[in-house]
Amino acid sequence: MKKASLFFLVTLCVQLLAFVVVAQNPIPKETSKSGVVQVMDAEAFAPKPIDTSVAPTIIAFGSCNKMALPQTMWQHVIANNPQLWIWLGDIIYADTTDTRALAAHYRRLKTTPDYKKMRSRTQIIGVYDDHDYGVNDGCKNHPMKKGAKKCLMDFLDVPMNSPVRKREGAYSSYTFGKGAQRIKFIVLDTRYFRDTLEKDTTRLRRYNPNMQGDILGEAQWRWLEKELRTSTANLNVLCSSIQIISDEHKHEKWGNFPNQRKKLLSLISSVQPKNLLIISGDRHMAEVSKMQLEGLPYPLYDFTSSGLTHIRSGNEEINRYRVGDMILKKNFGVLKITWNGDKPIVAMQVRGQMNELFQEIVVKY
């Protein structure tokens, strides 16, 4: 074959591959007042497929990020050089059922300079919570939930042929690394299938316990059990937008569905996945909760980080499972992983502005 013909074929293949990538992840465009169509920030919207070949040693995560407030935390997140960022919901605070407006909020975050910088060097996974889902404390009855899921998938660069795109709900899992130092992340969707909450008219608490209601839905429950039972990882990270262990406060939590919380804890105790750690968001504060489950050979931790742009008001609340302090400052969470053979050592850090370290709790599995 002549060199010219070979060059032509190679060039054609490259062009076709580029066409497929762009077709699956089109770069957003906007029309100016003059009617001219302009391509938006191409770098900010370039597809970022997830590479699971290497297990991350520094993982950052957070929630509750109002786009109407200054986006000042990203430079401090970047200072930790995380290989993975995990969104635990309330990513943009769109609070809208208009999916076009929701997508516009996500685009605004994606083109924010410091977030764009983090995205260029850090892999990103995660899930929505109510304020991205479209309605405060939203559940399965939200009429635009499919649109909310699509907006999230586009924001997270989930490939169009991914199984997550094709099923109901935004739950997903990723196993990073090889051999004895694999880490699996199991990301739950606590909105799409969740039953309704009944408000407490006595105002002694925000909601009455829903004893019969479901959180995950049948399909997601089956998927979760399979993900736990088949995990080959020596560190499993269960990601929930709402707290699992802490159940005494009056806000959203797994404890609002007592039987669902019991079902989840019983599943963990029964399956006994290797070294499971929970991370959560939603609460506009940070804390670490710890409990000992019967039959589980290690303590179960729930590390909550919430409040990238704002925090809650009021005094410290009761949490009989809390270890360390309740942090009422804008914050993000960091997991620093080291290994002793196949046994992970996890440093759970709460950090904030100027990358200040507010608290560190080290767990040796």
Q: What does the DSSP assignment read for 118-150?
A: HHHHSEEEEE--HHHHTSTT--TT-TTHHHHHH
- HSE of 232 in the Cβ direction (CA atoms, 13 Å)? 8
Comparing 61-75, 269-283, 311-325, which segment has the lowest mean pLDDT?
A: 311-325
Express each pLDDT in 156-174 by its tens digit: 999 999 999 999 999 999 9
Q: How confident is the model at residue 28 (pLDDT cuts 50, 70, 90)?
A: low
Check residue 206 and give its pLDDT. 83
Express each pLDDT in 278-327 by its tens digit: 999 999 999 999 999 999 999 999 999 999 999 998 778 999 999 999 99
Comparing 7-16, 221-230, 321-330, 342-351, which segment has the lowest mean pLDDT?
A: 7-16
pLDDT averaged over the chain? 90
Fold of the 43-364 domain: Purple Acid Phosphatase; chain A, domain 2 (3.60.21)
Residue with token string 């605004």: 108
Check residue 203 and give its pLDDT. 73
**∠ CA 92-244-102 to the nearest 5 degrees?**
15
Q: Is the dihedral of CA 343, 306, 268, 322 positive or negative?
A: positive
User: In the predicted model, is pLDDT for residue 16 greater than 50?
Assistant: no
User: In the predicted model, is pLDDT for residue 96 greater than 70?
Assistant: yes
| C-alpha dist (Å) from residue 24 to 39, 106, 157 | 16, 18, 9
Nearest to residue 278, comparing CAs of 255, 257, 301, 307?
301
Q: How confident is the model at residue 82 (pLDDT cuts 50, 70, 90)?
A: very high
User: In the predicted model, is pLDDT for residue 21 greater than 60?
Assistant: no
Check residue 40 and give its pLDDT. 64
Segment 176-195 shows an average pLDDT of 97
Express each pLDDT in 209-259 by its tens digit: 999 999 999 999 999 999 999 999 999 999 999 999 999 999 999 999 999
